[in-house]
Chain A
C-alpha cells in the first residue's frame, strides 16, 4: 500500500467517507504500520483541536433580525407584472447556460430539417412539372376503375393510377394512395435547360409522332447550330431517335441533326453506318451515304459501303455506294 494513498484514505475514513471494505482493510494495515497509525492519531487530534472553534447556533435575535430585513427587502421589490415575470423567465432561461448547447443543437436540427424539406418540396415540384406534359397522353391508357373514396377527387381523368389501398385495422378508415397528373405548361427559350430536357423526353417517349417530330426537329436544329449539343445530352437523344424511332420522318430529322458531327464523333459515325446498313427507309440510307462523304476514306466506312453496294435491296443505293467507293482512292 502506498503511503500517500493511505494517508488520503485515512482522511476519508476519519470523516466517514470510505467504503466499508476499504475501511476494514485500512484498519488491518494500520495495525501493522505504526507510521500510518501515527497519521491517524494526528488527524484525530486535529479534529479535536478544531472543536476549539465550535459551531454556534444563531441566536433567536439574530434570526429575527435577519428575517425582518429580508421581509422588508422583498416587500420593497416592485410588484411583478405579468410581462415582468415573463421577461424574468426568459432571462432566467438564458441564464441557464447549459441549456444553450441543447437549444443550439435543437435549432440546428430544426433548421436542417426545414431546409431539406423545402429543398425536397422544390425538387418534387420540378419533377412533377417536367413529368406533366408527357404524362397527359398516358392518362387514357392507365386509368383503372377506382373504388369510390370519400376523400375529394376531381374528374377521373385527372387521376393517373391508384397505387395502393390500405384498410386500417378494426375501423372504417381506409387509406388510398393514388397518383395525380397535373397538366402544366412552360414557356422558354431553346437555351433553357428545362426546355431542352423536356424536348429530349418528348423525343424518347411521346406517344404522338407529331410531338416527337417537333421535338426532334428542334433538337436537330439546335445541334446543327452547334448550341452546346454534346453536353446537354441532345446528341445522345438524337442517336437514340435515329436507332429506335419508328417514324422515318423523325429518324431523318435526327440524322439531319447529327450530320455536322459525323467526322469528329465516333459514335455518330457508327450510328450512321448502322442506319446505312439496317434502316428500313431507302431515303434515310441514301441520306446516310451523303452524310458519310467527309469520312469516305475511313476503312470501316469503306467496308460498309462495300457491303451495301453488294447487298442492298435498292439498286439505286447499290449504285450510289459503288460510285462513292470508286471516286475515293484507297488509303495507302
Chain B
C-alpha cells in the first residue's frame, strides 16, 4: 500500500498540535445561544418563519389537492433525495425506486403533515426510513456492493468521474483509490443499517445531529451515540490503511 501521503494530499493531514475544528459548523454553547436569542432571537425566529411561509403556502395548496403545487415541492427536493439514495444504495436503479416510493408516500400522506417540523425533515424522514428498509433487506441478502452500477447495469468508475483538485493523475494512484473506495464501502456495509444511516447523514450529507434524530424518530443523544459507534467501527475496519 502506498504511503498515506500519496493517497490524500498533505493538506488533509494535520500536523500534531494543529487543531482545527470545522469552523463552518461551529455551534454556540447553549448559554451563548440563549444570549444571542435574547438579542435577536425573536427576529430570527420570525425571519425563519417568514422564510418558510411560501413553502407552507405551497404545502397547503398541495394538501388541498393541487397537483402542480405538489410537483413544485417534488422539484425542490428531488435532487437531495436522489443524492442520498444514490450514495447509500450505490445503484441508480435502487435510487429511482426509493425516489418513487418516497414521493408517492409523501403524496398519499400529505394530509398528515401538521407543520410541526419542516417539510424537509418530513420528506427526509420518509426517505431515511425507506433507505433503512433497503439496507436491512440487503443485509439479509448479503449482496456485495463494492461497485456503483448505472441504470443499465454497467459499472461506473466512481473515482474517475470525481472532479477533484487533488491532482491524482498517477494511474497507480487511481487504482489505489479504487481499492480504497471498495474498502470504504465494504467497511460501511459492515455497520448496522442505523449506524450506516447516521454516518451517511452526518458525514456525507452534512446534517445536524438534531435533525438526524428527528428523521430517525429518536433523540439527538441517541444519534450522537450511534455516530460514535459507527466511527469506532469504521476506524477498526480501516486501521490497516493508515
User: Taking beta carbons and an 8 Å cutoff, which residues of A are in contact with B?
Assistant: 7-8, 11-23, 27, 30-31, 34, 37, 40-58, 62-63, 65-67, 69-71, 73-74, 77, 80, 85, 88-89, 92-93, 95-96
Interface residues of B (CB under 8 A from A): 4, 7-8, 12-14, 16-17, 19, 21-22, 24-30, 32, 65, 67, 70-71, 74-75, 78-79, 82-83, 86-87, 92, 95-96, 99-100, 103-104, 107-109, 111-112, 114, 148, 151, 158-159, 161-162, 177, 180-181, 183-185, 188, 202-205, 208-209, 224, 227-228, 231, 234-235, 238, 241-242
Name the A residues within 8 Å of B13 (CB-CB): 44-45, 48
- Specify the chain A residue showing the minimal Cβ separation from B103: A70
Chain A to chain B contacts (Cβ below 8 Å), 8 pairs:
A23-B21, A46-B238, A50-B184, A51-B8, A58-B86, A63-B79, A69-B100, A95-B112
Q: Is the CB of B25 within 8 A of A40?
A: no
Question: How far, in whole Å, are A57 and B85 apart by their CA atoms in the complex?
Answer: 11
Q: Which residues of B contact A21 (CB under 8 A)?
A: 29, 32
Question: With a CB–CB cut-off of 8 A, which chain A residues contact B235?
Answer: 42-43, 46
Closest residue of chain B to A85, judged by CB? B65
In contact, B231 and A43 (Cβ under 8 angstroms): yes
Q: A17-B224, A19-B30 are in contact. Are A63 and B109 (CB under 8 A)?
A: no
| Chain A residue, CB-CB nearest to B159 | A52
Asked if A58 meets B26 with Cβ closer than 8 Å, knowing A8-B228, A40-B19, A74-B67, the reply is no
Give chain B's interface secondary structure class.
Answer: helix
Q: How far is the CB of A191 from chain B (nearest CB, A)?
A: 61
- Which residues of chain A come closer than 8 Å to B14, judged between CB atoms? 40-41, 44
- For residue B51, give the distance in angstroms from its CB to the closest CB of chain A: 23
CB distance B181 to A52 under 8 Å?
Answer: yes
Closest to A42 in B: B235
Q: Which residues on A sit within 8 Å (CB–CB) of B224?
A: 8, 12, 17
Question: Which of the residues B29, B74, B188 comes within 8 Å of A67, measured between beta carbons?
Answer: B74
Given A14, A41, A55, which contacts B83 in the complex, CB threshold below 8 Å?
Answer: A55
Assess whether B12 is in contact with A42, with CB atoms less than 8 Å apart. no
Q: A17-B224, A74-B67 given. 9 additional CB < 8 A pairs?
A: A16-B22, A17-B208, A21-B32, A40-B19, A52-B184, A54-B159, A58-B86, A66-B78, A89-B111
Contact A92 B111 (CB under 8 A): yes
Name the B residues within 8 Å of A31 (CB-CB): 17, 19
Check A20 against B67 for contact (C-beta < 8 Å): no
User: In the complex, are the beta carbons of B12 and A15 less than 8 A apart?
Assistant: no
Q: Is the CB of B109 within 8 A of A92?
A: yes
User: What is the CB-to-nearest-CB distance from B56 to chain A, in angstroms, rounded to a whole number?
Assistant: 18
- Inter-chain CA distance A23–B83, complex, in Å, is 31
Determine whether the beta carbon of B26 is less than 8 Å from that of A52: no
Which chain B residue shows the least CB distance to A62?
A: B92
**B148 to A, closest residue via Cβ:** A56
Name the residue among A18, A31, A62 with the largest chain B CB count within 10 angstroms: A62
Which of B29, B65, B184 is in CB contact (< 8 Å) with A22? B29
Q: Which residues of B contact A42 (CB under 8 A)?
A: 235, 242
A53→B83 contact, CB < 8 A? no
Q: Is the CB of A23 within 8 A of B158?
A: no
Cβ-defined partner of A74 (8 Å) among B32, B87, B107, B181 = B107
| B contact residues around A30 at 8 Å (CB) | 19
CB distance from B191 to the nearest CB of A (A): 12
Q: What residues on B are CB-neighbors of A92 within 8 Å?
A: 109, 111-112
**In the complex, residue of chain B having the shortest beta-carbon distance to the beta carbon of A24:** B21
Q: A67 and B19: CB pair below 8 A?
A: no
A46 to B204, CA, bound (A): 13
**B87 (CB) vs chain A CBs: closest residue:** A55
Distance in Å: Cβ of B232 to nearest Cβ of chain A = 8
Q: Are B95 and A62 in contact (CB under 8 A)?
A: yes
Contact present for B99 and A66 (CB under 8 Å): yes
Residues of B within 8 A of A12 (CB): 224
Query: With A17-B27, A19-B28 in contact, is A27–B19 under 8 Å at CB?
Result: yes
Contact for A14 among B22, B24, B238, CB less than 8 A: B22
